[in-house]
Structure 1
């Protein structure tokens, strides 16, 4: 994708015009395309659905990097760009634009500021993992501009892949079995109080009180009479012999 970004150039031109920039004043003899080295994308190897994670795009060997624009592509069904995230190099003007499955980052130095040199973190931003799958994060295109308005573009897309793992399903907690309700203790049946022996018998021969005494005396008298009769009979027999 060797084509200069018109938008990136427009940003640099506007910044230079506004701040009396070095682009228009730089001697032509010094003009040179910016260098970046092999662009890299750092992203976690795996994340869990629901997690937020950072991605960093770096230039390991920048030379006179005055402005740049980076366009990132991703699968919006697997990950989503977290709006308002983007950490650029200190100093200058930054902008972010995002759509469905794409986000672009632009950074430019201002006025007579020198271009950036050395190992640089060009942008750090965040995604949120949505569902399980292999999420490719592609640097689809990039345009780099020097302080003398020379441009360079990304030779080939750069890709990092993050595996999104489904969040574990929490096991339902075991419902505690209700403790056995203790059975109510049997209410002791009140013992039947022994009824006092009735002074009156239930049969026809039952006797009680004064009636009993009368019958006892009568019985003794009858027994005495019978005994006396027996004695008399015996005596009479003895006499008759």
Structure 2
């Protein structure tokens, strides 16, 4: 049974958590227990949370919550907070010590992990890895994964709690923004400038009417100057004919 199933994602006071853990332990052991007031985590030594100090967008990072030394640690519940805009919990990635009942509950910006030994199983002693899980980096920025609360229970029902939160600082790098790709324009088909074949001009030598006079070097008269000449020739011929005829009549 989950130690926080009635309030998924909600943070619970260490005293309430300890009571829930103890109730579960009582049900499993079938004996009565007396709970001590919450105090410093006397049955665990040097609890911490660790993660890579740097990561890039898209990376999967591993987060661990170890203790250097545990003494008869029968059950515990851990509350971890994080920034959901930068990190995403990988579902079903939590791993716990063997030989117990485990629960992982995902809230809006918290993760709650619980572990309880079963039946007459002995509590955990010595160096322990309380939970290991993975997260995916969503964006860049400075952030922290913080162990906010923790409650611990020994096999005699004595409960203790985390003294103060502890964090793992992480510098996340966003993926570079791809630069827009520009395609080179296809060279347009070269257009040859339209050329027209010049019309050859009429040669002056082909027109005899425009040839120059070999003696004077002047062009012959054309147009209106020809008409008087054509009229004068028949008149001269007529005058000559009349003179000849008159001479013949006089001789007769």
On whether the aligned pair clears a TM of 0.5, the verdict is yes
Aligned residue among 38, 41, 50 for 1:42 = 50
Corresponding residue of 1:190: none
Are the aligned partners of 1:5 and 1:69 in contact in 2 as well (CA < 8 Å)? no
Corresponding residue of 2:122: 114
Structure 2: distance between partners of 1:15 and 1:43: 31
**Could you list the runs of 5+ residues in structure 1 that have no partner in the other structure?**
27-32, 185-241
**Could you list the runs of 5+ residues in structure 2 that have no partner in the other structure?**
1-12, 35-40, 192-252
TM-score (norm 1): 0.64
Corresponding residue of 2:4: none
Structure 1 position 75, deviation (Å): 1.8
Structure 1's 181 and 4: CA in aligned 2 closer, same or farther, altered over 3 A? Answer: closer
Q: Does 1:7 align with 2:27?
A: no
Structure 1 position 88, deviation (Å): 0.5
Q: Does 1:82 align with 2:84?
A: no
Corresponding residue of 1:55: 63
Aligned residues: 183
Matching of residues 120-199 of structure 1 within 5 Å: 120-173=128-181, 175=183, 178=186
Structure 1 position 174, deviation (Å): 5.8
Structure 1 position 81, deviation (Å): 2.0
Deviations 1:115-139 (A, max 9, x none): 0011111001122222211111111
Structure 1 position 73, deviation (Å): 1.2
Are the aligned partners of 1:51 and 1:128 in contact in 2 as well (CA < 8 Å)? yes
Deviations 1:76-134 (A, max 9, x none): 22222222221110111111122111111110101111000111110011222222111
Q: Does 1:68 align with 2:112?
A: no
TM-score (norm 2): 0.62
Corresponding residue of 1:94: 102
Structure 1: distance between partners of 2:77 and 2:177: 41
Structure 1: distance between partners of 2:104 and 2:117: 15
Structure 1 position 168, deviation (Å): 1.4
Are the aligned partners of 1:24 and 1:148 in contact in 2 as well (CA < 8 Å)? no
Deviations 1:135-180 (A, max 9, x none): 11111110011011111111111011111111112344563564x5
Matching of residues 160-239 of structure 1 within 5 Å: 160-173=168-181, 175=183, 178=186
Structure 1: distance between partners of 2:128 and 2:15: 20
Structure 1 position 12, deviation (Å): 4.1
